Amino acid sequence: MSTTAPDRQQENPLAEGLALRRTPDPCALVIFGASGDLTHKKLMPALYALAVRRLLPPRFAIVGVARTGGDDGSFREDMANAVKQHARDPFRQDVWDELAAQLHYLATDFADSSGEDKLHGLLGELDEKEELGGKRVFYLAVPPPAFPTIVEALGKRRDERGWTRLVVEKPFGHDLASAKELTATLLEYFKEEEIFRIDHYLGKETVQNMLALRFANGIFEPIWNRQFVDHVQITVAESIGIEARAGYYEQAGAIRDIFQNHLLQLLALTAMEPPIDFTSASVHNEKVKVLRALHTPAPRSVVRGQYGRGFIEGEEVVAYREEAGVAAESMTETFVAAKLYVDNWRWADTPFYVRMGKRLARHETTIAIQFKEAPHPPFEESAAEGVRPNVLVVHVQPDEGVSLAIGAKVPGQGMTIRTVHMDFLYGGTFRTGMPEAYERLILDTMLGDSTLFTRADEVEEQWLLVDSIVAAWQRDKPSFPNYPSGTWGPPSAEELLHRDGRAWRRP
């Protein structure tokens, strides 16, 4: 294997003949909030991975902007440590030296107009030195209250010679009203096609594979509907707690942190109609149709919970109300489960059971499509475990892949049936490390491809559903905590499916 092009794994026959993606135009990437965790743990390691694979533009500059004091030298040293600690690739000095030469740092408070002048001057110098042509990506890795100030300053001093793209991290608003207000602010200075609202779940390979699984295989699409599918289960489970994020989580809760964005996006990709092509507009249009077809669930079809003390991997952990910075009587939910319906021709009367939570039994994100039972299995009585329905499971994380549960005859005399699994694992098949979501998303931003980002109307439809659920919650106060850490949530979540004669699948 070549050490200069690790992305070409020619000993794997499945990698042969794959077209290389076009290289982005020369540009400058400006990261606001460059001293924060996101830059250290995700953005810089992703840029290093792109550098290892020679996917960055030949003429390129990275500018870190933050209020923390420092200069180019200290910033480069700090980012080198971040790459060594968090990158998926081994640290290579030759790759790092080349990338470090493109790193620059500006210590300034952007609320001060002098900060605008400093950044504008630095970008002008880099444009001239690197021949960037005024092409710029601005990444807002800062708290949402800082968005309007930065957006206004950038919008008023645009360089019209090239293109400008704005990457906005979640949370995108706190409710529908604030999301609309933020969109109006952005659209005052930027066009919709210039705004990239990032949801890192959409950058995961297995999430993208949902489109390939459905629309590149003729065997699935004909049965991907209410006539053949009994129900769908989507689980976004985390074994970790709030990880010192009490200030944010107390305001957001589980429904705004994961349900409103990641989980509803997974549902939209699962339920969407085939797009006429795979341009960003076509994919977004089909996802919006699904989100608009979601009707508000009845209060008994939504469960919320909050974790108490318990055990994770044999270690005792504290309750949510005992976490640092959390109010002693906090009513913030750390778990949400719901039964949703997509009211259209394809999915009418087919329930989508969704759940997500903190401090659950294990870390996993899965999409499980359970098909209807065979109408008349003649060997049902002789089945070893009972004839189970076929289930297609997309494993988003941590073990990326797809599995299909089928019934098979046990070797030996008699017709004894047992459920077996046909598994496809990314790592084993393609023999390469899975790229981090931010690698794909940063590259797509520089290429101007917004397919894996969320559009304004998607965000608004998601908030419309969440606001209606939250409004119903105002009328009652559940008894918290109502599930121990290390379990799969409150008993009422199990009852949600038991009422329908179903159960949550177990790993």
Q: Count Cβ neighbours within 10 Å for each residue of 23-50 and write b for 16 or more, e otherwise.
A: ebbbbbbbbbbbbbebbbebbbbbbbbb
C-beta separation of 182 from 197 below 8 A: no
Determine the straight-line distance between the first and last CA of the chain, rounded to whole angstroms. 36
Q: Which CATH architecture has domain 202-435+456-498?
A: 2-Layer Sandwich (3.30)
Q: Which helix (H) or strand (E) holds 456?
A: helix 456-473
Output the pLDDT for position 323: 95
Which residues make up the CATH 3.30.360.10 domain(s) of the chain? 202-435+456-498
C-beta separation of 402 from 393 below 8 A: yes
Output the pLDDT for position 69: 85
- Quick: pLDDT tens for 104-162: 999 987 766 677 888 889 999 999 999 999 999 999 998 888 888 899 888 888 877 88
Coil/strand/helix, residue 352: strand
Task: Burial-class residue 350 by CB neighbours within 10 Å (0-12, 13-18, 19+).
Answer: middle
Output the pLDDT for position 430: 62
C-beta separation of 60 from 135 below 8 A: no
Q: Which residue has the tokens 């050490």?
A: 3
* CA dist 111 → 122, 143, 155, 495 (Å): 17, 13, 14, 51
Between CA 141 and CA 147 the distance in angstroms is: 9
Running DSSP on this structure, what letter comes out for residue 40? I
C-beta separation of 268 from 291 below 8 A: yes
Between CA 260 and CA 468 the distance in angstroms is: 12
Amino acid identity at 484 = P
Return the active site residues.
262
Output the pLDDT for position 146: 86
Q: Which helix (H) or strand (E) holds 114?
A: helix 113-130
Q: Which CATH architecture has domain 13-169?
A: 3-Layer(aba) Sandwich (3.40)
Output the pLDDT for position 144: 84
Output the pLDDT for position 427: 66
* CA dist 222 → 106, 125, 225, 346 (Å): 55, 57, 8, 11
Output the pLDDT for position 462: 97
Residue 217, both tokens: 């295989």
- Please report the sign of the dihedral spanned by the C-alpha atoms of residue 445, residue 199, residue 249, residue 456: positive
Helices (H), 18-111: 37-38, 44-52, 72-86, 93-100
Phi, psi of 168 (to 5 degrees): -115, 120
Output the pLDDT for position 373: 85
* pLDDT less than 50: residues of the chain: 1-20
Output the pLDDT for position 21: 61
Task: Burial-class residue 214 by CB neighbours within 10 Å (0-12, 13-18, 19+).
Answer: middle
* CA dist 337 → 250, 340, 478 (Å): 19, 10, 14
Between CA 274 and CA 253 the distance in angstroms is: 33
Q: Within 10 Å of residue 308's Cβ, how many Cβ atoms?
A: 19
Q: Which residue has the tokens 């790193």?
A: 103
Between CA 13 and CA 17 the distance in angstroms is: 9
Cis peptide before 171 (omega within 30 of 0): yes
Q: Within 10 Å of residue 122's Cβ, how many Cβ atoms?
A: 18
Which residues make up the CATH 3.40.50.720 domain(s) of the chain? 13-169
Between CA 134 and CA 158 the distance in angstroms is: 9
